């Protein structure tokens, strides 16, 4: 399993390890005895029990068989797969190109009633114009993706936007003012994108907040995040994509979003900052 800074992943791995420890203890086996019967060294058992090593599905099967707990194999494998799915490296998610990554979240977007998004680097994908998206994805493709399917990925995102802004969903969007001036594309594309942001922000089901440069705040997240109702938070890390489903952590992101929303400007004041960024493009 890939390493991740999220306590959700760490705790999930520890919970799985604790279940395996209890199965071993219920069978009356020491770690050494289990290792011998499974045919591997004691260090491997120690790493699995301390959650330093994620057990493979074959490890789980062997562990349960020697402990006489075969009936728990399906549930433990399902738990292991759930832990594995929490964190995905970009290179794994994008190994066949960028379109697949766009399509992989289509169902989640469709099911979500309230989106809450914090953006500190680029504008949220759901409010991007096709030209802005193309510039962002082209930069990503050149940096880390061998397959060039940028045009198809842009199309997939654009099609998703049509459904999102049908009026069946609500949006809370928080954008750092820096993002309005970040040179991720040429001035003409950026000006059109900012005009589009003003139009999106005027819709009755969208709350658009701009966090001004230099404003004081209690929270300063290290990463952009997307909240899908109270069900899941997606965090875009430098190394990969993190899914958070633990209620306690989701609540922490919700509090951070609310605190940052209180530092943002909305309505006419937000439009003034966006228009200033357009004017600065000349």
Residue pLDDT, tens place only, 185-236? 999 999 999 999 999 999 999 999 999 998 877 767 768 999 999 999 988 7
Query: Which class does domain 7-85 fall in?
Result: mainly alpha
- We find that the CATH architecture of domain 89-280 is 2-Layer Sandwich (3.30)
Residue 5 has pLDDT above 50, yes or no: no
Residue pLDDT, tens place only, 253-281? 999 999 999 999 999 999 999 999 999 99
Q: Do domains 7-85 and 89-280 have the same CATH topology?
A: no
> What is the reported pLDDT for 159?
85
> What pTM was estimated for this model as a whole?
0.75
Percentage helix, strand, coil for the chain under 3-state DSSP, each rounded to 5: 55, 15, 30
Task: Specify whether the CB–CB gap between 89 and 239 falls below 8 A.
Answer: yes
> Residue ranges per domain, the chain?
7-85, 89-280
pLDDT band at 4 (very low <50, low <70, confident <90, very high): very low
Task: Specify whether the CB–CB gap between 211 and 155 falls below 8 A.
Answer: no
> What is the reported pLDDT for 222?
67
């Amino acid at each position: 399993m890939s390493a991740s800074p999220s306590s959700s992943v760490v705790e999930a791995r520890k919970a799985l390890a604790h279940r395996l420890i209890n199965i071993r203890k219920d069978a009356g086996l020491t770690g050494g005895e289990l290792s011998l019967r499974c045919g591997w060294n004691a260090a491997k058992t120690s790493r699995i029990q301390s959650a330093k090593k994620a057990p493979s599905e074959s490890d789980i099967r062997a562990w349960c068989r020697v402990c006489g707990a075969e009936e728990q194999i399906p549930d433990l494998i399902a738990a292991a797969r759930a832990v594995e799915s929490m964190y995905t490296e970009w290179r794994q998610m994008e190994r066949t190109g960028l379109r697949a990554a766009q399509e992989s979240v289509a169902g989640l977007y469709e099911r979500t009633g309230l989106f809450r998004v914090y953006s500190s680097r680029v504008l949220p994908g759901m409010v991007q114009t096709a030209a802005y998206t193309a510039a962002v994805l082209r930069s990503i493709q050149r940096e880390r993706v061998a397959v060039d399917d940028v045009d198809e990925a842009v199309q997939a995102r654009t099609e998703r936007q049509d459904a999102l802004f049908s009026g069946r969903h609500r949006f809370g969007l928080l954008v750092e003012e820096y993002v309005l001036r970040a040179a991720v594309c040429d001035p003409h594309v950026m000006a059109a994108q900012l005009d589009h942001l003003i139009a999106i922000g005027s819709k009755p089901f969208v709350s658009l907040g701009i966090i001004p440069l230099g404003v004081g705040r209690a929270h300063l997240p290290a990463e952009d995040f997307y909240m899908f109702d109270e069900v899941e938070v997606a965090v875009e890390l430098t190394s990969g994509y993190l899914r958070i489903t633990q209620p306690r952590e989701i609540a922490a992101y919700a509090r951070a979003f609310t605190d940052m929303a209180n530092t943002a400007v909305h309505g006419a004041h937000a439009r003034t900052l966006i228009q200033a960024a357009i004017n600065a493009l000349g």
